[in-house]
Structure 1
Amino acid sequence: MDFDKLVHQPTRLQLFAYLYRHGESSFSDITEELDVTEGNLASHMNRLEDADCVDVEKQFVENKPQTTYELTDHGREKFEEHVGTLEALIESLEE
């Protein structure tokens, strides 16, 4: 059973799960909710963006930069496939 390393990495797995559940989310909300540093989050989000797993929107709100992220259809599929792999692993252990 092979895990997708892009999704399985612990911080990215949290990011996938958070965005899957919450939809579009701001950079600041994610750093606060998941207790990750800004640099760590930016690094992981760049990797997810490069893999076409997240859409990134940058805009100014009240003269302050705001970045939001949302899973792409491809990102949702990758997360669902990973959850399916984990469920299959659990089922195989119960046999």
Structure 2
Amino acid sequence: MEFDKLVHQPTRLQIFTHLYANGETTFTELKTELGITEGNLASHIQTMEDADCVTVTKQFVDRNPQTSYRLTSRGEELFEAHIQTLETLIDGLEE
């Protein structure tokens, strides 16, 4: 049984989990909710975007720039597969 390193990395796993549970989320909300630095968040989001796991939307809200993120179908599938792998691992421990 092997974990997908893209999803399994601890900070990205937090990002995947938050976006999966909450849907579209702004950069500021993610940074605050996860308690990580702007640079760290931006780096992980870029990795996820490069892997076609997250979409990035940039817009102006009340004349202020706002960036938000949402998991793509591929991102949701990878996250669900990761959860299934964890559940299989746990089920194996209970036997």
- The residue type paired with residue 18 of structure 2 is Y
Q: Residue in 2 aligned with 1:24?
A: 24
Q: Residue in 2 aligned with 1:88?
A: 88
User: Normalized against structure 1, the TM-score is what?
Assistant: 0.98
The 2-side partners of 1:44 and 1:61 are apart by: 24
Between the two proteins, what is the percent identity of the paired residues? 62
Q: Secondary structure at the match of 1:36?
A: coil
The 1-side partners of 2:42 and 2:59 are apart by: 16
Q: Residue in 1 aligned with 2:79?
A: 79
Give 1:35 shift. Answer: 0.3
Unmatched runs of 5 consecutive residues or more in structure 1: none
Give the 4+ runs in structure 1 shifted more than 4 A. none
Q: Residue in 2 aligned with 1:43?
A: 43
- Paired positions, count: 95
Give 1:63 shift. Answer: 2.0
The 2-side partners of 1:94 and 1:62 are apart by: 53
Q: Secondary structure at the match of 2:91?
A: helix
Which stretch shifts more, 57-66 or 13-22? 57-66
Q: Residue in 1 aligned with 2:9?
A: 9
Give 1:2 shift. Answer: 0.3
Give 1:36 shift. Answer: 0.7
Unmatched runs of 5 consecutive residues or more in structure 2: none
Q: Secondary structure at the match of 1:3?
A: coil
User: Normalized against structure 2, the TM-score is what?
Assistant: 0.98
